[in-house]
Amino acid sequence: MNLFGRGEVTPEEAVAVIGLGRFGSAVADSLTRLGHEVLAIDERADIVQRSAESLAHVVQADSTESAVLAQLGLGEFDHVVVAIGTDIEASVLTVLACEEVGVREIWAKAINAKHGQILHRTGAHHVVYPEAAMGERVAHLVSGKMMDFIEFDDGFAIVKTKAPTEAVDKRLGDSRLRSKYGVTVVGVKKTGEDFTYATAETVVAEGDTLIVSGATTKVEAFASTT
């Protein structure tokens, strides 16, 4: 089932998702909603049958064999997501097979740091830790200081939090939050209104919601003041 050979999909618009558990299915569904052509692959017949109800291109195949991936045309894909988690051996062998057929950018799910290290060494260009990331996010939200929290691999984070008292009724340039906390206020949302980009002239009112970016430790410290 080489979708390129059949003229159904072009490399620029296609993404292959290997492994249709909860994470892989969510990635495939989201990519489809964003307008991408998705080739979904899983070795389990029941999963493939179920996924065929929502995805246009679903294949039952052994993704650990590079010959199988080559037959499917994965070497022509710009992006492949290896969403296999609990079967570490299958995850690593699949990344290796993707690398062998020449996939340009491999994203892989890891269940722990050791797994992630192996995936990197095997050929994964990007490794994600969805369980760890969600646990970190929930921990920040439970504290009650943040309304949302997203952390990136390089120690950078973006948070949504209430404006601190010291910034209320002041222009952002005058409250000097950046110089005091080392963070950047990138957006402000007033009650009943949409978010707007923040500038030095933006006046913050009581109850406003701020989108703040910066080093993770600094945005955490800033949120603790709100």
**pLDDT tens-place string over residues 126-182:** 998 887 777 777 776 676 678 888 877 678 889 899 998 999 999 999 999 999 999
Cα gap 20→124, rounded to integer Å: 18
Domains of the chain: 14-132 (3.40.50.720), 144-224 (3.30.70.1450)
Tell whether the model's pLDDT for residue 3 goes beyond 60: no
What percent of the chain shows pLDDT beyond 70? 92
Which residues make beta-bridge pairs with 211? 160, 187
| Neighbour-count burial of 5, counting CB atoms closer than 10 A to its CB (0-12 exposed, 13-18 middle, 19+ buried) | exposed
CA angle at 203 for the pair 201 and 161, rounded to the nearest 5°: 115
**pLDDT tens column, 178-205:** 999 999 999 999 888 888 999 999 999 9
Q: Is the pTM of this model over 0.85?
A: no
